[in-house]
Amino acid sequence: MSGSRAVWKEVLAVYSVKVNTDPDNPQEVATMDESKKQLLTDIFWEMNEISSSTDTKTETVITETDDGHGNIVETESTVTQTYLYITVSHKTAEKVADAAGLPLSKAFTEKVRAGGKLGGNTQLHYHRFLSSVFEKAVKWQLIDENPCRRTEAPKAAEIEVEALQEEDVAKLLEALQDAPAQYSVITQLALLTGARRGEICALRWSDIDLDAGVISINRTVQNIAGRGTVFTAPPRQSAPGGASR
């Protein structure tokens, strides 16, 4: 057997691109199900080319025997043997992009800012993304360690947050008087409690104590591609106003 096969780092990289950028069903790569296992298997074999050939050779073999009187007798015989040669080779970057269903420029390059560098937030996103892929590979015992652990995480760019001033809050509350009840309640909850959108949308009547004037934030909800609506417990921390986490 000769040649080289695609290393798992390359296979996982293509798998991550395929899963995360699928236009019909983009998914996260941190979890595994039967469809993802099949996709990973398909990508592995798409990235590996196996060829074989046979070669038949006729050879003369000399066999030594004892004639029973202490003499060595050499006997020649003709033996025909067939050899099987297997070559394993992995594909180039162009074929890797092809396997992912993406043009090479999109699979391996990214639009950059003036100066030739990716933005800090984009760098951080890719760092976290790759780290999650390699962590999964370590868990599966495909690689010994996560190479991202030896790198310094990029610094995210500071984002300027615009908050409503007191007079703006007053104007908004006044405008809500004519708004539909559901929109008015949701907006007032966000303004007066500081709860996040996912936390407000996940509220249930059991979370509300009207007598005590307390709303408990016990969960958050979000829509995840490929999984649908998912409820999770929010971080435990204090909240302003009448809400508690």
* C-alpha dist (Å) from residue 24 to 110, 133, 237: 21, 21, 37
What are the pLDDT digits (tens) for 141-156?
Answer: 878 888 888 877 777 7
pLDDT of residue 1: 46
pLDDT of residue 101: 64
Tens digit of pLDDT at every position of the chain (245 positions) = 445 555 666 677 777 766 766 656 667 666 777 877 787 788 777 777 777 778 888 888 788 888 777 788 888 888 887 877 777 666 665 665 665 566 655 555 555 555 556 677 777 777 787 788 888 888 888 788 888 888 777 777 677 777 888 898 888 888 888 888 888 999 999 988 888 889 999 999 999 999 998 999 999 888 876 677 888 886 555 444 455 55
pLDDT of residue 238: 45
* C-alpha dist (Å) from residue 66 to 73, 145, 232, 239: 6, 60, 83, 97
Contact 107, 95 (CB under 8 A): no
pLDDT of residue 211: 92
DSSP-assigned letters across all residues of 193-218: H---HHHHHT--GGGEETTTTEEE--
pLDDT of residue 222: 85
Structure tokens at 180: 């539909």
Instruction: Tell me the C-alpha distance between 31 and 7, whole Å.
Output: 21
